[in-house]
Amino acid sequence: MTAPRGTPVVEGIPRLALLDAAGDVKQIIPLKSTKATLTSDLLGLQVSDSLIGGDGAVIAIEGSKIRIEPVGLPRALFVFITEPTRVEDGDVLLLGSQVIRCRSLPEEAGLIFGDHGSEHVGSALPARDVAVVEQIRDDGRVRDTLHLWTGRTITIGRDQGDWTFPYDPTMSARHATITCEENGLLTVRDLGSTNGVALAVRTPQLVSGGQRVSLGGQMMRVDLA
């Protein structure tokens, strides 16, 4: 990692590397204490208070990792995954510029086929839908959805897969997959996309060295000593 001119790098101290749009380091923030609060002022973010919400995030050093925890109600705090990751009901993903929410579906009773199909009032399905992924608009409303059942894997991409977003240049052709496991839980995998797959931080989460975090649209990388 190369620091910008005039930015001292203190060896042996964990730090945040703020990245520009090209992924190059534009600023280094040493983490001189074991706990610090990330705010728009500290990061030099040019965003509105409504985007950050609350105080942003608290970052704490815990051994060889860093724990990041939302403070208040930040609306744009994401950690980029580096391996297949389990997602839970209500979790929000960032794929390119698409905000995707994952929801579990309750089991519902319904009518079934009679001898001649006379009781059938819905489509025959291969299995019960147990989860749904939702494309969330910037106003919070759902624009599009895709359902999953146990054992189903969907591929999401700009122009290849089960769910495509040809109007999003920040998404790779084949960006990610989401699998509905046997237990009904979902697992997301990055398919080597250019811009990565990020998970919104709702509870304290450990971040490893080299992992990227986005707060209020500002991308940063955690560099451990």
Please tell me the least confidently modeled range out of 22-36, 145-159, 195-209: 22-36
Of residues 144 and 3, more confidence is placed in: 144
CATH of domain 82-107+128-195: 2.60.200.20
Q: What is the pLDDT, as a whole number, of residue 218?
A: 81
For 41, phi and psi rounded to 5 degrees? -65, -45
- The residue-averaged pLDDT of 181-187 equals 89
Q: What is the pLDDT, as a whole number, of residue 120?
A: 57
Domain ranges in the chain with CATH number 2.60.200.20: 15-78+200-223, 82-107+128-195
Q: What is the pLDDT, as a whole number, of residue 109?
A: 55
The share of the chain scoring above pLDDT 70, in percent, equals 76
CA–CA gap between residue 55 and residue 42 (Å, rounded) = 11
Alpha-carbon dihedral angle through residues 31, 32, 37, 41, given to the nearest 10 degrees: -80
Q: What is the pLDDT of residues 106-120, one digit of tens each?
A: 876 555 555 555 565
DSSP code, position 5: T
CA–CA gap between residue 67 and residue 120 (Å, rounded) = 52
In this structure, are strands 163-164 and 153-157 parallel, antiparallel, or unpaired?
Answer: parallel
- The residue-averaged pLDDT of 196-214 equals 91
Alpha-carbon dihedral angle through residues 52, 193, 191, 17, given to the nearest 10 degrees: -50
Q: What is the pLDDT, as a whole number, of residue 184?
A: 81
Mean pLDDT, the chain, rounded, equals 81
Q: Residues near 31 by Cβ (< 8 Å), separated by ≥ 6?
A: 13, 14, 15, 16, 59, 61, 66
Q: Does residue 148 carry a pLDDT above 50?
A: yes
Helix (H) and strand (E) counts for the chain? 2, 19
Per DSSP, the three-state class of 176 is strand
- The residue-averaged pLDDT of 132-146 equals 92
- The residue-averaged pLDDT of 194-215 equals 90
CA–CA gap between residue 113 and residue 174 (Å, rounded) = 38
Write out the H or E segment, with its range, that includes residue 43: helix 40-43
For 7, phi and psi rounded to 5 degrees? -105, 110
* Residue 50's pLDDT band (cuts 50, 70, 90): very low
* Residue 42's pLDDT band (cuts 50, 70, 90): low
For 215, phi and psi rounded to 5 degrees? -130, 115
Q: What is the pLDDT of residues 14-40, one digit of tens each?
A: 888 889 888 899 888 887 777 777 765
Tokens of 38: 């990330």
* Residue 47's pLDDT band (cuts 50, 70, 90): very low
Q: What is the pLDDT, as a whole number, of residue 140?
A: 85
- Is the domain spanning 15-78+200-223 CATH 3.40.50.300? The answer is no
Q: What is the pLDDT of residues 54-89, one digit of tens each?
A: 557 888 888 778 888 887 655 678 999 999 999 999
Identify whether the C-beta of residue 97 lies closer than 8 Å to the C-beta of residue 113.
no
